[in-house]
Structure 1
Amino acid sequence: MRPAALTWRRHALAYVLIVVLPMVGGLALLLLNARPVARSAEASGMHGDLIGVLLVTVPIVLAIAHLCGAVVHRVGQPRVIGEMIGGVLLGPSVLGVISPGVQHALFPLEIMPIINAMAQVGVIFFMFGIGLELNAPGLRNNGVAAVVIGHAALAVPFVCGILLGLFLPASYQPQGAGRLPYLFFLGLAMSVSALPVLAAILRQRRLVNSPAGILGIAAAAIGDATVWCLLVVLMVFTGRGDSATVLRTAALTILFAVVMLAVVRPALRRGLARAERCERDHYLLQVVLTLFVLLCALAGEQIGVHPIIGAFVAGVVMPRSSGIVHDFLQRTEGLTLWVLLPLFFASVGLLTDFGALRDGTALLFCGLVLAVAVSSKFAGAMLGARLMGRSRGESVALGVMLNCRGLTELVMLNIGQSLGLIGDTLFSILVVTTVVTTMAAGPLLGLLYSPAPAEPDLGDSPHNPTDTSASGPGALPASASRRSSG
């Protein structure tokens, strides 16, 4: 014991002499030579307060979003639905009514630009994943049918959305928004299908490999790609400049797409294939891919469209079969799905005020928009499927699948809000439509298809929807098939 105690004392003395005394002396010198800094105390306090509020707000947003996601997942819904609801709960519709002071303290105006910036980074990587999914084998194996069904499920609600806009109150069109862009955007908003959420629902119900499931994912991919292309057209012609600016933006957009598809895509395929043959760490390549996505988003912004369009194109040109790309997607999904996208849901929830829907007239129009959105999408998908010779039962299932709007619709609505094309009341109505149609997809598919064991919980990742490792594709019950094929 005595040698051990002696050793301990020697170590303690050495620590005091080498660490403690120099630190105390350094602090004393700092205090003796301290000078007042020419800095506003108010500004310093504001900076500290913002950091403090951010460190409180972000964990609360993440906790509420993921808690709601876990709850709805228990009842067979995708986690995205719960996260959407969590964002609404934190907004003026719920928390703002129960405790306006708490809601304002958690989300002061000064902190919203920070949250929105973080959320937009999440949306950028989300859209990269959406673009990557468009390389799915289902697009090649169901090319003609996917194009016809996907475009029919887009064209019918697009036209119905424009007609609906003609009958909505004039107050729903924001001041300064042109009539044509307003109607065009409303048609697009009615046409969206959520490919990632649909894939999660099909995987959860073991329908990814069913004929309707494969065709539904392919049709949703075709429809979504077309919607984003039309959105680019809308953003070019929203009147954000003179005719020369519009022509410049259109020309640069086309040039960007051509260069990415004709030059960058083959270069990526060759470069990544060569890198995979080398037995070494691909850490630097992961960094390069991150920079590539962000630079493509920057290109979309500089061209004059939107950063997510650049990220979407980056996903389209990326070789989907590359193991390096798969690893990159796995690494970015964690931060995107667990941190950044819940912040996006919170930002959408803060823009959603259901208080505007308490009025009887607003509720009536909300029901009208929901009815038109559901019926037009269902009719378009079913008519397209029947035209391609699909059975009535499979056509009905495709109508249900493509009615799922989910996160993709929220991204679209967020863009429309930022462009000043839709007002607060119509924004809230379309959020309600998004939540209802997405929640209805799973139960309705459960009624159409025979029950199957649930897939293992993969976290409802919105990416990799065409994972064909699942076995046991779902099929229509025999009785339903007989009824529907007559």
Structure 2
Amino acid sequence: MSSAPVPTLPHHSLLVFLLQVAVLLLLATVLGQVAARFHLPAIVGELLAGVLLGPSLLSHVWPALADWLLPKDPGQLHLLDAVGQLGVVLLVGITGMELKFDLVRRRGATAVRVSLAGLLLPLALGVGVGFLLPASLIPGGTSTTVFSMFLGVALCVTAIPVIAKTLIDMNLLHRDIGQLTLAAGVFDDAVGWFLLSVVSAMATAGLSTATVAASLLYPVAVVAVAWLVGRPVVKRALRAAGRSASPAPTVAVATLIVLFGAAATQALKLEAVFGAFVCGVLIGTSGELDSKKLAPLRTTVLAFLAPVFFATAGLRVDLSALAVPTVLATACAVLAVAILGKFAGAYIGAKMSGLGRWEALALGAGMNCRGVIEIIVAMVGLQLGILGPETYTVIILVAIVTSLMAPPILRVAMARIDENAEAEMGLAGPRPRELTSPPTTSV
């Protein structure tokens, strides 16, 4: 006897889902363009779209509409989340494809010193602040240690897409300080995804000697297997897809590689974005990728899926939480630590490399951008139950403020740096031709 077929999606649920995606995309696109007009990252407008439709505004101004368009039914919200998760996995994959690891080799020890100092100091400060925050802000059942480690990771990340777009907009990508900032950011990004996967595994499996050891070894094993086994497979798949004059096979193969990688690390409880990032790096460093053929994928992700994801992330931001003195004080403290840690770390790394104070300030401003990466980290924390609504709002606030700070500080610092002095300090080196054109991940 055959089993009954699975019921299709109810008519009303489909209607609400389609309207949710359409309204979020419309508002995110419009506000993203408005932000760009004012020389702000588009991500600011895209997040604001969700904030306006979420508990911060619409739920207070027009609760009936908010309840109809964004019902509290988990099944309905999960449909929207699925679109957002697909968007973030592909966005992280594309980011991995476009990281230029030859920059790190070219800038050598200077990039590594700046990156390590700019990563370790905010990481340590973030962990320390996590232990000092009121217990009421830590979700029930979450270990204070895991929460503190997660906060450290959230504060130590750097957003390469925002840095690159800022440098391009300000015509600073050709400068040696600009390329050194990108090189240090590439290293930060790679280490940040690794740390996120480690903390996520700890949050899922619990804290014990065995689980901590496994949490550290699993990401290393994933990278090793990806490099030894996955790399030749990726090269052959991309080579076969590249024989077609149409971009469709290349887009399909790249998408499949990222999705399978994300599924593999999700199965290992290391978070899907880690696998997506590793596979994106494999694709980008394969030597077989025709980047022009990936244009349709980039356009789809950056114009449709990513804005919907960021708007969905904004839906969970409740700015009214900042009216609570404890939450407001926490937001100010975390923001101050995030900014101080990045600037002080980058400054220390720059001084260790013999750079001047204005060069150090410029590096600090660039490395301080959190943008898209911080938001992805915050969403992971929310999904794992490490962050509550209040701490999630605080992390999103850090992402926005630090991204807005970069352009004015960079403008002041770079105006005081002589290009000839950069060469005298040993920063100058051959510039890759591809970096003179804008990276496509500009969110």
Root mean square deviation, CA, Å: 2.7
Q: 2:202·2:215 contact (CA, 8 Å) conserved in 1?
A: no
Shift of 1:340: 1.3
Residue of structure 1 in register with 2:429 after alignment: none
Is residue 262 of structure 1 aligned with residue 228 of structure 2?
yes
Q: 1:138·1:214 contact (CA, 8 Å) conserved in 2?
A: yes
Is residue 80 of structure 1 aligned with residue 46 of structure 2?
no
Identity of aligned residues (%): 33
Q: 2:157·2:188 contact (CA, 8 Å) conserved in 1?
A: yes
Deviations 1:175-216 (A, max 9, x none): 100121011001111111111111111111111121111011
- In structure 2, relative to structure 1, the CA distance for the partners of 1:97 and 1:416 (3 Å cut) is same
Residue of structure 2 in register with 1:342 after alignment: 307
- In structure 2, relative to structure 1, the CA distance for the partners of 1:248 and 1:188 (3 Å cut) is closer
Residue of structure 1 in register with 2:319 after alignment: 354
Of residues 256, 262, 275, the one that matches 1:310 is 275
Is residue 161 of structure 1 aligned with residue 137 of structure 2?
no
Shift of 1:167: 2.3
Q: What secondary structure is seen at the aligned counterpart in 1 of 2:205?
A: coil
- 2: CA distance, partners of 1:449 / 1:184: 34
- 2: CA distance, partners of 1:435 / 1:166: 24
Runs of at least 5 residues in structure 1 that lack an aligned partner in the other structure: 1-37, 452-464, 472-486
Shift of 1:380: 0.5
Shift of 1:320: 4.3
- AA in 2 matched with 1:84: L
Shift of 1:252: 5.0
Residue of structure 2 in register with 1:455 after alignment: none
Of residues 51, 64, 67, the one that matches 2:30 is 67
- 1: CA distance, partners of 2:247 / 2:362: 42
- 2: CA distance, partners of 1:246 / 1:333: 37
Q: What secondary structure is seen at the aligned counterpart in 2 of 1:182?
A: helix
Q: What secondary structure is seen at the aligned counterpart in 2 of 1:367?
A: helix
Q: 1:194·1:405 contact (CA, 8 Å) conserved in 2?
A: yes
**What is the aligned residue count?**
417
Q: 2:131·2:145 contact (CA, 8 Å) conserved in 1?
A: no
Residue of structure 2 in register with 1:468 after alignment: 435
- 1: CA distance, partners of 2:156 / 2:124: 9
Runs of at least 5 residues in structure 2 that lack an aligned partner in the other structure: 417-431, 439-443
Residue of structure 1 in register with 2:427 after alignment: none
Residue of structure 2 in register with 1:108 after alignment: 71
- 1:197-276 equivalence runs, <5 A: 197-240=162-205, 252-269=218-235, 272=238, 276=242
- AA in 2 matched with 1:147: V
Residue of structure 1 in register with 2:254 after alignment: 289
The range that moved more, 361-370 or 315-324, is 315-324
Residue of structure 1 in register with 2:19 after alignment: 56
Shift of 1:288: 2.4
- In structure 2, relative to structure 1, the CA distance for the partners of 1:71 and 1:239 (3 Å cut) is closer
Shift of 1:227: 1.4
- In structure 2, relative to structure 1, the CA distance for the partners of 1:371 and 1:67 (3 Å cut) is same
Q: 2:173·2:436 contact (CA, 8 Å) conserved in 1?
A: no
Deviations 1:354-376 (A, max 9, x none): 11111233222222221111111
- 1: CA distance, partners of 2:16 / 2:339: 40
- 1: CA distance, partners of 2:386 / 2:192: 16
- 2: CA distance, partners of 1:162 / 1:290: 35
Shift of 1:377: 1.0
TM-score by length of 2: 0.87
- 2: CA distance, partners of 1:379 / 1:252: 32
Deviations 1:93-123 (A, max 9, x none): 1222221221221111342101100100111
Q: 2:359·2:413 contact (CA, 8 Å) conserved in 1?
A: no
- 2: CA distance, partners of 1:323 / 1:78: 32
Residue of structure 2 in register with 1:33 after alignment: none
Q: 2:231·2:286 contact (CA, 8 Å) conserved in 1?
A: no
